Structure 1
Amino acid sequence: MTQKKSPQGGTFKKFIVVMVIILIIALGFTGLNYYLKYFGPNVTGKQEYLYIHTGASFNDVFKTIKDEGIVKDSTTFYWSAQNMNYVNRVKPGRYHLHEGMSNRKLINMLASGTQEPVTLSFHDLRQKEQFAGFVAKKIEPDSASIIHLLDSAAYLQQYGFTPDNVYTMFLPNSYQLYWNTTPEKFFKRMYANYEKFWTPARKAKAAAINLDPIKVSILASLVDAEALHDDEMPTIAGLYLNRLNKGMKLESDPTVIFAENDFTIHRVLTRYLSINSPYNTYLHTGLPPGPIMMPSVNAVNAVLDYQKNDYIYMCAKEDFSGYHNFATNIADHLANAHKYQQALNERNIKR
């Protein structure tokens, strides 16, 4: 006699199958949710960089990310950051963002401090204040903190500089450094480059003309301010060295303009020559106490490889080409000066 299957047994089996299916679906959903939270694309691409300031907390970072719309879903970012313990691993810096980055990739980058360096390129900056302001636009420290070190005799002493001549340490070039570089680390980086530049060969050339690297750079700043064309720099350097060796005043017009602190002056009048300043080389013999601008590498090399000549005087050419007429005697110089003054008058250039 055939036994009938128990209805209850069949129902139980169906229940088990259904439960297994539900469990599989739940696990799949949980896995998908986990994947999306960690590995799914979340960075929007609205901002190219995320800046995290020194001393920032996780809450500061999260506020920036949320306020600037850096991620699509700030809740999943927060959840991921908590689970990856990023809240205790915040590092300052400038972080390059890519659209579609996942929470996991973004958090790993931030927690490891994997920054993209900034490129700092500077040249032709006349004054320390101008330089500090320029640098502060590229890295985290503000201009006041940089100026503080530039003006600190005690701090600069360790590098062998003074507030007057420290500007000679900064050689125009392109540098890569991290955005959150401190003012002290910035100085160390610049000094390392300065020492690398001043090779034994360059120091020997400086010694041969009775100058040290700082004085070479101060003289180079005068050469740079006078020369519109680099090919004329060695000639001007030779002229200035002639005057130094003869004990003559350098009588450099750019030093008067620097002392007056008016860089709009195109015509140095007699009244400017009596400005009471240690930078006025019409009043004081020898080099000024510091550079009148950040000297270029070409100007420094022009002093070291100066042209040997007998020139004592120079005057801008009357054709306004940017070149100079040079002279070995006062008579020729006065004739050159007269031609230039006439040209200024014809163009109604009064100052």
Structure 2
Amino acid sequence: MKTIGRIFTFIIIVGGIIFAYLVFAPNTTFNAAKKHLYIRPGSEPASQQIVKQLQTGKIIDNVKVFDFLAPKMNAYKNLVPGRLTVPKHTSVYGLIKILKANKQDTVHFTIKRVRTREGLAAMMGHNLMTDSATTYMYLSNNDSLRQFGVDTFTLNTLLIPGTYNLKWEYTTGQVLAIFAAAKKGFWSRNNRTARAAALGLTPDQATTLASIVEDETMKDSEKDTIASVYLNRLRSGMALGADPTIKYALKDFDMKRILNQDLKVQSPYNTYINKGLPPGPICTPDSVTIEAVLNAPKTDYMYFVAKPDFGGYHNFSRDYAQHLKLAEQFHDALDKKNIK
């Protein structure tokens, strides 16, 4: 009997060790630093959503152990729609603790260069619970956008480049409200709204002009001078004649050379045939570029063209004859490089 007792005790101890190992040992199956679990609103209980993802998402090995323990430990009691992070080496017990804590992820949503509603919708669909198609429909509806003081043309004025801390479950409207608050804060600082007004521009118009400057040059040192050229053209009633707006109108952002036939495109963004600013930004300008517009020096330059050395800088001119000579040098350089 003593022998049977010892064997039974041994089995219990070994079983306990194995069970403890299955529960407390690192149990993730992925090589990345982390994976995510998603809880979506709807009729399916959070518990079922979690188990399905564990079964198909290759997150932990011991799904059956988890499924046995989770209900008994009230793992699902506090869960609400959102996204949860599972770090590498998490144990079954550790995963249950994550679910019980219901600590929703922060999504670090970075805006750097956004051109179109399609692009913004795709970014939001990739990073947030909303899908890109639904988001695009929202962004294309002026009734939806009106509450944020924008329309489909001026939507990009809401997008101040930077990183925003969002929740995965935020709706498109909630995200735009955060963008609108950031925009308001940006223009209330450093006397920006008043400085734009001194140039005869609203904040949205200044952003639109800055978006053109943003696409004209990567050289921060000459952005203010380029801005001064466009301001001079606006004041004189001359068409802006901005090549980046042609690329935007054609939705061909990789164009290396603008041809005469391209200048005929029928679009409100064609600043060769429409005087004044286009109806909205053609990209999201950096704050440095907006500052360059607000700090534009007083010049008498009316023209500029890229230097033929392709170093990224520009030659500036006061009269058209001088500009044509400089433009010819640049076009000759394009021909020599066979840039069409």
Q: TM-score range by the shorter chain?
A: 0.7 to 0.9
Matched, 1:273 2:266: no
In the TM superposition, residue 294 of structure 1 has moved relative to its aligned partner by 1.7
3-state secondary structure, aligned to 1:97: strand
Q: What's the CA shift for 1:35?
A: 8.2
Query: Map of 1:55-204 to 2, 5 A cutoff?
Result: 55=41, 57=45, 58-200=47-189, 201-204=191-194
Is 1:50–2:40 an aligned residue pair?
no
Structure 1 residue runs of 4 or more that deviate by more than 6 Å after TM superposition: none
State the alpha-carbon separation in 2 of the partners of residues 242 and 194 from structure 1.
27
Residue identity matched to 1:266: K
Structure-2 residue corresponding to 1:250 = 240
Unaligned runs of 5+ in 2: none
Structure 2 residue identity aligned to 1:273: L
Provide the identity percentage.
33
The answer to whether structure 1 residue 331 and structure 2 residue 321 are counterparts is yes
| In 1: Cα distance, 2:118 partner to 2:56 partner | 34
Deviation at 1:102, TM superposition (A): 4.3
Aligned partner letter, 1:174 = T
1:4 corresponds to: none
Q: In 2, Cα distance between the equivalents of 1:265 and 1:79?
A: 59
Q: Distance in 2 between matches of 1:152 and 1:214?
A: 19
Match for residue 276 of structure 2?
Answer: 286
- Check whether the contact 2:39–2:49 (CA below 8 A) recurs between aligned residues: no
Letter in 2 for 1:314: F
Q: For the Cα contact (< 8 Å) 1:38–1:104, is it kept in 2?
A: no
CA distance in 1, matches of 2:248, 2:216: 12
Aligned partner (choices 9, 13, 24) of residue 40 of structure 1 = 24
Alpha-carbon RMSD across the aligned residues, in angstroms, is 2.7
* Per-residue deviation, 1:208: 0.8
Distance 1:183 1:38, change over 3 A: farther
Decide whether the 8 Å contact of 2:78 with 2:102 is kept in 1: no
State how many pairs are aligned: 330
Structure 1 segments unaligned to the other structure (5+ residues): 1-14
Distance 2:229 2:88 in 1: 59
1:35 and 1:262 mapped to 2: Cα distance?
Answer: 60
Letter in 2 for 1:44: T
1:225 equivalent in alignment to 2:215: yes
The 8 Å contact of residues 35 and 59 in structure 2, kept in 1 or not, is answered as no
The answer for the alignment partner of 2:196 in structure 1 is: 206
The separation in 2 between residues aligned to 1:25 and 1:345, in whole angstroms, is 88
Contact 1:327–1:333, Cα closer than 8 Å, also in 2: yes
Range moving further from structure 2, 167-176 or 84-93: 84-93
Please give the alpha-carbon distance, in whole angstroms, between the structure 1 residues aligned to 2:257 and 2:59: 54
| Deviations 1:153-211 (CA, angstroms, capped at 9, x unpaired) | 01111111010111111111122222232222211222222122111511111111111
Q: Which has the larger radius of gyration?
A: 1
Residue 38 of structure 1 deviates from its aligned partner by: 10
SS of residue matched to 1:199: helix
SS at 1:86's partner residue? Answer: coil
Deviation, structure 1 residue 87: 4.1
TM-score of the aligned structures, taking structure 2 as reference length: 0.87
CA contact (8 A) 1:252 1:282 kept: yes
Give 1:88 shift.
4.5
TM-score (norm 1): 0.85
Task: Pick which of 292-301 and 276-285 moved more.
Answer: 292-301
Give the drift of 1:42.
Answer: 5.7
